Structure formats: structure tokens, C-alpha cells
Amino acid sequence: MSNEIYLDNSATTALCDEAKAAMSAVMHDVYGNPSSLHSVGLAAEKIVSEARSEVLASLGVRGDARQLIFCGSGSEANNLALIGTYTAKKHRAGARVIITAGEHSSIEASAAYLETLGADVVRLSTKSGEIDMDELRAALTPETVLLSTMLVNNETGALYPVGEMFKTAKALCPDILCHCDAVQGYTKVKFTPKSIGADLVSVSAHKIHGPKGVAALYVSPEVLKRRALVPVIHGGQQENGLRAGTENTIGIAGFGAAAKVAMQHQGEITAQLANVSGHLLNRLATDPSLAEIRVNRPKSAVWHIINITLPNIKSETMLHFLSGKGIFVSSGSACSSHAKSVSRALSAFGISDKEADCSLRISLSRYNTIEDADKLCDALAEGISALIRIK
């Protein structure tokens, strides 16, 4: 394992030591149901409460614990944000919901479901990873009830102007709710719900070296006051009545620990990502053996996600070639890797179907090094000279 180079961190990340320790302690000593009133249950409830505070603190939020709802995944948090807000009120047919064309499948699928309920869904273009603010303004009609956009595109690394989008939306539609899918930018991009004007924010543990199977939805005090959110999973009254089901205490403990360490070391982690990414981008731009590779880099982009298009070599072919050398990248979002259709995010970016079929995503974590980047570049150069090209 020590010789493997893992560069698919947008799909999932390795557990950090702090998360492992927190989860191990709960597995060994805390087995109660957080909803039980006896001492065994209260011990579990304390773990959940402490982790909730840590995740809220990582979002720059202090105070009301009701503002964070633990969920089973980022996809669930996104479903709750869109479906839970839209169905909380009785909207007239044609109430408008705005998303972007390159959203994560959980947002796109939720929006498609809202269309079956009569919603008018508008998908903003994201050509070259940019948002056209004039297009957004034109889409904001008096019938618009919800705007949802990701902070960072999970396939292109585009960093969207979420704060500007939400400010514009609220100026034109004062009652609109604004949701940000921050899963790919969480702890890597500095923001708070207040700084971007978000009413709801989705985050996930396994993108920040926490465990899979746990995520959260931040809910603003205004949404709680307006009762503008209803559950999509019905049952008990866990999570302030907004997400039924016994809390995943072990996973939540790991989430809290991962969030705490990520924020404690955010500056040095950002510097490490920038250093490795900058070196990788420089080699891709200057190494003659890599000259045929095109980097699909938005003007505004994060350091930890880089998308490239190979010279008529199928991404799956190169992926297996690299895997054989112990280097692991992705041919797209892990949530859509088994789909037969071309990536919507890449299509919305302006990449043709053929080019998308030859594109790879490289995503870094704080554990990656410049040596990892060099080994990847060397392997890509070898693959370019050796692999069969499509016509």
C-alpha cells in the first residue's frame, strides 16, 4: 500500500488518524442509542452533540445545534435541501427552481423529481466553468423559490461565485431560499454560510478524511423560523424532526474529528495542495512528453481538482494503465462512473462527447506530494507513447 499513489480524492479520501481514533473509541465503549434517556444513551448523545458542534464550528457557526442535520450521505443532504424545502410550502404550478447545468447527480435527480411535482427547473449554463450572471438575473422571476448551486464542481474544479449568485438572487427575489452543495469545497475553500448568503449548505465527511455514510445539512435560523424545510425520511423525531432514523454515532464521531483537524490545519493543507497542484500544472504545461495533453482549467478553479483530456486515448484505457503502476485517478465522478452517458459536467463545460471519453480527473489530498505528481506525469508520458489511440 505504501507504494500506491492515490489521486482520486474527489471520490473519497483515506481516513485520517484522528477520525480512526474517535471512531475506535466509540466502537469499543459507546454502544447506546443517542435517543435513549438512560446513561448509556446519554453517553452516545454526548458524542453526537460534540461532533455537531465541531462540524458547525468548521462552518463558522456558533450556537443553535438545530442548525445542523446529520444525514447518511451528501446525496441525502442535497435531496433534503431541494425536496424538503420545495415540498414544505404549497407552491403554485410553475414555481421556479434554478440549478446549474453541471451539478452533481443528486442535485440534478432531485430537480428532475421536482419537475414531476410541477416545478419549472432552469439549468444555468457553465461553459468553461463560468456562471453568466446576466443569465441568472434573467432566470430570477417572481415565481422563483429556490436557487441551488455547488461551490466547487466535482469534475472540473471550477469555483463558482456563489456569494455573488446568492446576493443577486436575494436582491431580486427576497423570499428565495439559497442552497449550496459545498461537498467538494468544504474545508478547502474558505467560506461560511453567512459569508456566501446561504440558507442551506451540504457537506460530507468522506471528502475530508472522515468516514463514508455520514454527512450534514446546515440550515439557517431563518429557514427554521419559517418552517421552510420538511423531512424526506419519515419516522422518529431525530435531528430536530427533520431526519428520522437512529444516528450513526460511530460515523458522526469520525466526522467531528475530521472536521476539527481539517480546520485546525486549514492553512497548511491549502498551502500543500497549492504546492503540489502548481508543480503538476507546470509539468503538464512545460514537459514536451506531455504536450498533447490538454488541461481543462477554468479561470476560477480550486487547487485540488485538475481535469485533463488525453490525445485520442480513452480515459478507461489510461486509467487501467496507471492502475497497473499503482497510480489511481478517475475518469469522472464516482457517482456516475457506471453510467453509459457522457458526463453532464464536462458537456456543460464545453467538452465534446469524444473528448469527454478521453478525459481524466486528478484530485489531490493533503497526503499527496510533489513526488506523487512527478510519478503521475512520468506514467502519463509513458502511456501516451505506448497506448493505442482511437480514430
Active site residues: 335
Q: How far apart, in Å, do the first and last CA atoms of the chain sit?
A: 37
Strand ranges in the chain using DSSP code E only, listed in sequence order: 5-6, 68-71, 96-100, 120-124, 144-150, 177-181, 200-204, 215-219, 294-295, 305-309, 327-328, 359-363
Burial grade of 160 (CB within 10 A; 0-12, 13-18, 19 or more): buried
CA atoms within 13 A of residue 271's CA, in its CB half-sphere: 4
Of 288, 359, 295, the residue nearest 329 (C-alpha)? 359
Torsion-angle region of residue 272: left (phi > 0), alpha (psi -120 to 50) or beta? alpha
Decide if 149 contacts 142 (C-beta within 8 A): no
Decide if 65 contacts 53 (C-beta within 8 A): yes
- Please name the residues in contact with 59: beta carbons below 8 A apart, sequence gap of 6 or more: 192, 193, 201, 203, 218
Amino acid present at 238? Q
Spatial separation of the C-alpha atoms in residues 2 and 115, rounded to whole Å: 48
Q: Within 92-187, where are the H helices?
A: 105-116, 133-139, 162-172
